[in-house]
Amino acid sequence: MEMKPIRNSLGRNPLSDALHRNPGVVLNGQGPGRHPLRGALYRDPGTMISEQGSGRRSLCGALHLRPGVVKNEQGSSHFSRRVRRVRKLAEPTRIRLGSWNVGSLTGKLRELVDVAIRRRVNILCVQETKWKGQKAKEVEGSGFKLWYTGTTSGRNGVGILIDKSLKDGVVDVRRQGDRIILVRLVIGDLALNVISAYAPQVGLSESSKSQFWEDLDSMVSTVTISEKLFIGGDLNGHVGATNVGYEQVHGGFGYGSRNEGGRMF
């Protein structure tokens, strides 16, 4: 029997709809019509679609098989603990990402963590940390961890701050100078790549700007099409409110007018 996702009266998928209602979840599709966690939700070979006389569809399978259902003394059915656990694991993971140019991270790391906790941000890209080194730092007493890169104290620098629920999923970190860092995480069946970037500001040479965009392009090209990618950064450009001529890459969520930095972006 061909497996199709359940659809409600509006033709939307109720299992994935929760992600799309949360504006804090930012994941690019990298493929038309694909849901970032769709594979995890529909991979169970024990799940089947049954047709009912009313024309509505219902799920039957691993969660609805008789061995997983028990009855209490009053005769009412309910899921056993094991089945409830399976259903809980099938729910999509919500991830909130953000980006912030902090001006300087010296003496502000704990404050940064407090803001992330208050705003419930799981992954925060930061720019202009002005820290030197290519290291990772645990934020004491918070469970957060910061991966960062910088070549000169008091200048440039970028980092990625990740909370305690996701930091152990980091499997790779790549750095490019003091303006680009990538962290790759595995979250269940999802591979997520997060880039924090800081573009050269107005007044710097055109060669340094071109080099930055070439470096960013090279970093992005290392991410396979099957994985998810999020770029957070201070890119020193305005892409503008309209997307005419850039429909394939501009989602229409900008504002103002496009400047030279935005055109390069």
Sketch out the chain's domains with CATH numbers. 17-89 (no CATH), 97-264 (3.60.10.10)
Whether residue 201 contacts residue 209, with contact meaning beta carbons closer than 8 Å, is answered with no
pLDDT at 175: 98
Task: For residues 127 and 38, give the distance between their C-alpha atoms in angstroms, rounded to a whole number.
Answer: 32
β-bridge partners, 161: 124, 146
C-alpha–C-alpha distance, residues 207 and 204, integer Å: 8
Position 203 scores a pLDDT of 86
For 120, the token pair is 């419930």
* Residue 75: C-alpha distances to residues 67, 69, 70, 72 (Å): 16, 11, 9, 5
Q: Is the dihedral of CA 160, 148, 232, 185 positive or negative?
A: negative
Contact between residue 92 and residue 19 where contact means Cβ atoms under 8 Å apart: yes
Beta strands in 121-223 (DSSP E): 123-127, 133-138, 145-150, 158-162, 170-176, 180-187, 190-198
Residues 73, 198: Cα–Cα separation, whole Å: 63
Per-10-residue mean pLDDT of the chain, 265 residues long, equals: 47 43 43 43 40 42 43 48 46 85 95 96 98 96 97 96 97 98 95 98 91 97 96 93 90 89 87
Give the dihedral of Cα atoms 36, 24, 159, 262; nearest 10 deg. Answer: 90
What are the backbone angles phi and psi of residue 93, rounded to the nearest 5°? Answer: -85, 130
SS3 category, 248: coil
Query: Could you identify the residue written with the tokens 């991966």?
Result: 147
Closest CA to 212 of 180, 237, 174: 180
The answer, as to whether pTM is greater than 0.75, is no
Per-residue pLDDT, 64: 42
